[in-house]
Structure 1
Amino acid sequence: MSDRLAVAKTYKLYLGGKFPRSESGRTYQVRDSRGTFLANAAQASRKDVRDAVVAARKAFGGWSGATAYNRGQVLYRVAELLEGRREQFIAEVAASEGGQAKRAQAVVDAAIDRWVWYAGWTDKIATVLGAANPVAGPYFSFSVPEPTGVVGICAPQSSSLLGLVSVLAPVIASGNTAVLLTSQDRPLPAITLSEVLATSDVPGGVVNILTGRTAELAPWLAAHADVNALDLTGAPKDTIADLEEAAAGTVKRVLAVRGNEPDWTKQPDVSRLRRFLETKTVWHPMGV
């Protein structure tokens, strides 16, 4: 029997491509489905939310201005790195969500496949969701989808990886940047994903990941004037009405799930890609 003490891991936030400690200096314990201590996670504050939004806004111009083909390449690279850390994700999903290793393996494989699926959509969005409009007159009329901007995401609470990927990937695939609040009690897969993003080709600030109390952080995200849209999938159900009211003050697009979380194992459609896009219509006279 070894008498050495295990070195407990204390994870940090992921902001602007870096790993700072929470401005508040707070941490909280992360435990597995049986209550066994796993690690300490940073407990983000209002200041951390503001810093994350600043980083996301700074990165938006470059990310939204990149070619769709390039964004697809970048997202596919993330999938390659997810595959390389597959065993670690399986262990963390099994610890976070309970169940057998075989189920955790299926969840991780589905998450990697879903990331690839959204990577493949980046250069098809304009064709499928845009249009050349028939008009009466000597004009061309085109409808073109464009990213909304900075999207705040409350990640699903129960599905720590597959649900996380299902809400994050379409946001950045469509050219937006994201500030993501992880599952409060199951943050480890999201933290490991942040390590993957940091070593991938995703520019710093495109994805910013905050751990902590969702009910504490979500109101600051909803009321922030520089956040353009809000996904409340993982927000506490009794706070959704208040968050929608706060978001209305700056006319945000809001996606709220009031019933049970979606079945993340089902094949996705383009609804989440469409949700955080703006359609711009351009008229141009013929012969000019």
Structure 2
Amino acid sequence: MIKNKRILISLLIFFSVIAFADNTNKTLRVATYNLENFYDRYDDPYNSKDSRIDQNTAPKPARELYALSKVIKSVNADIIVLQEVENRGFLNEFNNSYLRELKYKYVVLIEANSSRTTRGRGIDVAMLSRVPIYSATTFQYYKFPLNRKSTASFSRDFLYVKAKPEGFPELNLFVLHPISQRGGAYAHYRRIAEARGAGEVISKELGKEKNAWIIIAGDFNDSPESESLKTYLNIPGIPLKRIPAYDSKRKKFTFYAKSGGYPPSTLDHILVSKPVEKALVKPEAKIWNDKTAAIASDHRPVYITLNAPR
């Protein structure tokens, strides 16, 4: 009987060690990618700006769609947040036709301010995920001070998604795409205002959770040294860090600047809370930089890989 007990205890210890080892080997990859004018081929007869080359809303060419699929498959993220997506229907079609092997079961896109207003380009933020998602909240109607006299809302949205990867704590993901730099001084101050608004949202949602796993990702339309980035990194009570990103040649740019007279620059970022930073496999993010990426979009994807906590 004593011998049997010893065998049982040994087996329990053995399987506990295996379970522990399996958990420590688990990783999670999170990416952000601006798909550049991911417009469908269907014309909206009630929108005079839809499917127009002169309005920069022409359908995404098949060559670029194929290139996008190659890049996304190469990155192979468990969760990938996206910018410049026209609608959920087209994203679903692309996912089912081009990305089936990646098994992105969860698709998130809530049409927001860029789609609702006549001034917008009809592009939204979105997410594809293999990880179970159980909550998605839009803050498109959230108002924050723009200046002393007026308020504003997010240019696209500030999308808040909760996910629960196996072996990981609850993940709080925020996806953004502030106004571009083409708006000059107004856009500059608007991006700072959006950063303050984002800080208010995060403080209200997670201010009391000191150990929350938080990731903010997207096309910030601003450089690492910008005032808006500094604002995101100085949310009271919620310290966040921008993860420096490099490609295989140690170059930092994420935006090719194919046209418009802008130089290549670093506009796409991933910001994380302390618990996420501690879980990084490496203390830096990666930028995907093969030749296909230059065909797919004017941006390059950025991604981090996390270890499951022990």
Q: Which has the higher contact order (CA 8 A, sep 6+)?
A: 1
**Superposition TM-score tier, normalisation by shorter sequence:** 0.3 to 0.5
**Taking structure 2 as the reference length, what is the TM-score of the superposition?**
0.31
**Taking structure 1 as the reference length, what is the TM-score of the superposition?**
0.33
Higher helix share: 1
